Structure 1
Amino acid sequence: MRMDTKRIGVLFLSMMAVTFAGQAMAAPAMKLYDAPWPVLSFRFTDATRHTLSLADFGGRVLLLNLWATWCIPCRKEMPSLDRLQARLGGPAFHVLALSQDKAGDDAVKRFFRNVGIHHLRRYVDSTGRSANVLGVFVIPTTLLIDWEGREIGRYVGAADWDSPAVIALIRRVVDAPYPTRDPGTENGLRYE
């Protein structure tokens, strides 16, 4: 019996969701990298169906969370991401919760309404391309992206994103001196 790649991927993600579902959420032990990594560009849409890329958030520190409405650990951590955005979100920092739902924004809108998410904006990549480009194999996965659009940390699994430890880490990154930009690049992003 031969299983295709898509079925194997769905089976793997389902097993991971069941594995993480019973675990209590804690503050993530996200350690910053010794050297930042470039982030390849990809496209996604917002709630108004406008196409965006990470370059549209230039000059901000981003907490990029790849998630889906059907992912139990993702569902558990989403309120803490909403509280983090309410507390720290602004011109210097943004929580970009990027849904991987194939059903698109309608599923995300329904989920946000049912769970009481008020501060996060809706972003969707129904193609799953962002996960491929970023090398994400399990959701939720969260990347910390610096002012220049470079990945400086990553955490796999659900977490309590508005914990004092996370807030201190993000404030440290946001309050770091603004880097000098290389005029030959746009926000440090490398385009395909």
Structure 2
Amino acid sequence: MKMETFVMIAGFPIKSDWLFILAGGIAAYILLLLKYRTDNKRKELLDIVANAVITGFAVWKFSYVLFHPAAALKSPINILYFNGAETGIVLGVIAAVVYALRAAKKNELNFESLFFGAGYGASGFFAVYFALRYFLAGHKLEEGFLSFLMFTAVILLSIQKANNIRNVSFTLIGIGLAFSVFNATPFANKKEQREAAVATSAATGIKQGNKAPDFELDTLSNGKMKLSDQKGKVVFINIWASWCPPCRAEMPEMESFYQKYGGKRAEILAVNLTDSDSRKAAKEFADKNKLTFPILLDSSGQVGSTYQAVTIPTTYIIDQDGVIVNKHIGPMDFGTMEKYMENAEK
């Protein structure tokens, strides 16, 4: 799994994936504009597609309230940082489809045209999205090949004279089969094998594949903890401060994760930037939220500086051998931490 990449915009870190999604969405919309330029129902069709996407996104984002009502009521700001994860995506897709079908019926639109437009737009979106992930973010070879297949789908559907369900279905089924065959070949995994080989002889640093710089810090419980003593477990080095709103939002999620996996498969080293916070504030926050995972005190700011925590919270995920496998900027929920742990264990 590739390390997350971020772009700084107006001083805020924006995950590159969101920019890729935006680029894919714009590309899909332009393709639909061109494809339906002579259709007298073009405006209605494009409005339905756009509103369906917005509806699906809203349901996915706010489904966090449905799955975590207590957390949302206790801290409404969590809605800004978290979502309904995979289950929320399923609900969002269902909501988008239901909206599209109802709107199409209301506007007396041809169902086949709507289905073709959705398939055509989705092909354009994923063609651009996976291309950007592969070429700009260095993701898996499979994603580069999937992008190529999706561009092929866009070309095939662009030259179709009849916008019917059969054309879309056959094209996408063919894409799926081709991708499945490619994904099953050893060639598809060569890039990941090379990355794994590089990681085994890693130098110390803070990039993916580097050995994580070691450190030892005092803890809130008046003890000491050392990173290198945690080998054999996946380690989350979470750099935070008690005055940071997204840090405060993620702490209950981290505690839930720690209750299930802490000390067994994973360890959390919550490094408090005590040089810009205080031991007292950190302890009050930990006591109030009944945090049981280790909280380390970076009184000199050395660890925060070494790990370049310009924006907090920043979390490094370290595998059982002490190698950095990922970096996450911003708050994490339980599901995100679980995925990082599972990927680090592979």
SS at match of 1:24: helix
Q: For 1:88 and 1:125, how far apart are their aligned partners in 2?
A: 25
Match of 2:284 in 1: 110
Please give the secondary structure, in 1, of the residue aligned with 2:81.
Answer: coil
Q: Structure 1: state its 5+ residue gaps.
A: 1-14, 177-192
Aligned to 1:25: 81
- Residue type of the alignment partner of 1:97: A
Report the TM-score, using the length of structure 2 for normalisation.
0.40
Across the aligned residues of Structure 1 and Structure 2, the Cα RMSD in angstroms comes to: 2.9
Superposed, 1:112-151 pairs within 5 Å as 112-114=286-288, 116-151=289-324
Quick check: 1:141–1:156 contact (8 Å CA) kept in 2? yes
Counterpart of 2:280 in structure 1: which amino acid?
A: D
**C-alpha deviation, 1:61, in angstroms:** 1.0
Q: In structure 1, which of residues 39, 43, 57 is the aligned counterpart of residue 230 of structure 2?
A: 57
Amino acid at match of 1:143: Y
Q: Is the 8 A contact 1:67 1:99 kept in 2?
A: yes
2:236/2:268 contact within 8 Å kept: yes
Paired-residue identity, %: 24
2:251 maps to: 78
Report the structure number with the largest CA radius of gyration. Answer: 2
- Mark the runs of 5 or more structure 2 residues left unpaired by the alignment: 1-10, 14-76, 86-138, 141-191, 200-208
Flag the structure with higher strand content.
1
Q: Which amino acid aligns with 2:282?
A: V
Q: Which moved more, 1:34-43 or 1:71-80?
A: 34-43
CA contact (8 A) 1:85 1:94 kept: yes
Q: Are residues 132 and 118 of structure 1, via their aligned partners in 2, closer, same or farther at CA, if it must alter by over 3 Å?
A: closer
**Do the aligned residues in 2 keep the contact of 1:62 with 1:95 (CA within 8 Å)?**
yes
Name the TM-score, length of structure 1 as normaliser.
Answer: 0.68
Say yes or no: does 1:166 pair with 2:337: yes
Q: Which has the higher contact order (CA 8 A, sep 6+)?
A: 1
The one-letter amino acid paired with 2:271 is L
Q: Aligned residue pairs: how many?
A: 153
